[in-house]
Amino acid sequence: MAVTCVIGVQWGDEGKGKVVDLLARRSDFVVRFQGGGNAGHTVVVGREKYVLHLIPSGVLHPGVRCVIGNGVVVDPAQFFQEIADLRARGIAIDGGNLHVSERAHLVLPYHKLQDRLAESSRSREKLGTTGRGIGPCYMDKAARVGLRVADLLNPPRFADRLRANVEEKNKLFTAVYGGEALDAAAVLAEYEGHRERMRPFVCDTARLLQEASEAGKELLLEGAQGTLLDVDFGTYPFVTSSHSDAGGVAAGCGLPARRVDRVVGVLKAYTTRVGSGPCPTELKDAQGVDLREKGEEYGATTGRPRRCGWFDLVACRYSVRLNDVDVLAVTKLDVLDHLETLRVAVAYEVRGERTDHFPADVDALEEARPVYRDFAGWRRPIGGIRRRVDLPAAARAYLDFLEESLETPIQLVSVGSERDQTIVEGLPWISGSSGA
């Protein structure tokens, strides 16, 4: 019994939803520990496609308990909408299988408004946020004016703090942005409507998880976004506002850091990024468009086209080391089926110097020119293959190269969006399970 953490190694959208879904069938708890409704985890089960934003992907498995940890920012309207959508599709959800931390911060309407106003007033360096209020909510958390789930359950405190916050925010909205003021009474009425519906889901989730871990339960921690969007270690300022690497676990769900037994790093067989910011291997030509079309690379939350490019070993080496990844899961290998040649960036050239260092200076990263190594393509469909040894030699060579360069075993390869379109070798806690 163990604690497993699933982390995106790139800029998010690596396919963590599918990997978590596969691992979840052997888990007792599936836990989100950061981010919020900005995430979009897609899971395909037969003909059904589920896109989860706030609720952990484990919810699709009966008997698995899902936890939204204190490090997540919760938009109640979105939370209940997601529950309603899942229930309408036959997924059972109640306070017995979904738990929300009393310490989680609430996303309020003024966060979403602030997100949009701040983004549209940025003349340069637009961040390309998802517009879900994530950044402003974490700003308020750090500024110690945030409202938490525990506050929602304390009516006088909630009303008092909410009115004060709306008054402050309205100064910003009207005087600085020249916009409309929000009506505190309307916001209050809306959130009071959420209170009793929220109550059955709320508990001390840190304690719940600590006790579960002490009792030998299997815990799966589901990262959202990806390491290169981490607020400290990502491509700052083009990042999200939370700790989307394995370092975010303890602060984000209350499980002591030493409890994490293994880290599964999920990476796509090529690179994508949605929103702004440097992406050294991005292909701004027809090749990039081709990857986008073949990989259906459109944001699961915003529908925006993702920027696509070749695999970036410099960036992934940096992430794998940062997360101390134990095993890798490579997704969407089948998207490359048709290519004659594949490229991998093995180094950057930055201001005339060759380097394998992932720079902190965002301008240096913007200027970085990838140094590529080419690989032959396999040019045949691999979606039906279930053993690595049966993959075409060129596909095996590509995986072997990634594995050796990242000094980490690849134990899962996804060759299609369906649950069973997966090669699993060496992940004993899921191989041999019957699947669904």
Q: Would you count residue 275 as binding ligand IMP (CB under 6 A)?
A: yes
Residue 243 designated active-site: no
Contact of 114 with 87, CB cutoff 8 Å: no
**β-pairing verdict for 29-32 and 65-68:** parallel
Q: How many residues bind ligand IMP (CB under 6 A)?
A: 21
- Residue tagged active-site, from 28, 41, 61, 243: 41
**Residue whose token pair is 């691999």:** 382
The nearer residue to ligand IMP, 264 or 399, going by C-beta atoms, is: 264
Tokens at 129, concatenated:
């946020």
The nearer residue to ligand IMP, 68 or 339, going by C-beta atoms, is: 68
Instruction: Name which position in 38, 205, 331, 411 contacts ligand IMP (CB under 6 A).
Output: 38
**Signed CA dihedral, 21, 230, 10, 401: sign only:** negative
Instruction: Name which position in 17, 71, 135, 288 contacts ligand IMP (CB under 6 A).
Output: 135
DSSP string of 288-351? HHHHHHHHT-B-TTT-PBPEEE-EEHHHHHHHHHHHT-SEEEEE-GGGGTT-SEEEEEEEEEET
| Segment interacting with ligand IMP, rule: CB under 6 A, options 166-174, 223-231, 332-340, 356-364 | 223-231
Q: Would you count residue 281 as binding ligand IMP (CB under 6 A)?
A: no
Residue 13 designated active-site: yes
- Rounded distance between C-alpha atoms, residue 149 and residue 151, angstroms: 5
Quote the least distance from Cβ 144 to ligand IMP, whole Å: 20
Instruction: Name which position in 130, 319, 414, 422 contacts ligand IMP (CB under 6 A).
Output: 130
* CB closest to ligand IMP, residue no: 275
The nearer residue to ligand IMP, 51 or 289, going by C-beta atoms, is: 51
Q: Would you count residue 9 as binding ligand IMP (CB under 6 A)?
A: no
The nearer residue to ligand IMP, 177 or 372, going by C-beta atoms, is: 177
Please tell me whether residue 434 adopts helix, strand or coil conformation.
coil
| Segment interacting with ligand IMP, rule: CB under 6 A, options 37-45, 64-72, 142-150, 309-317 | 37-45
- Helix crossing, 109-121 with 134-142: angle to 10°? 110
φ, ψ at 44 (rounded to 5°) = -110, 125
CA distances 376 to 337, 343, 396, 397, 409, Å, are: 11, 9, 11, 9, 22
Quote the least distance from Cβ 280 to ligand IMP, whole Å: 16
Active site residues: 13, 41
Which residues here bind ligand IMP, judged by CB under 6 A? 12-13, 38-40, 127-130, 132, 134-135, 224-225, 229, 238, 240-241, 274-276
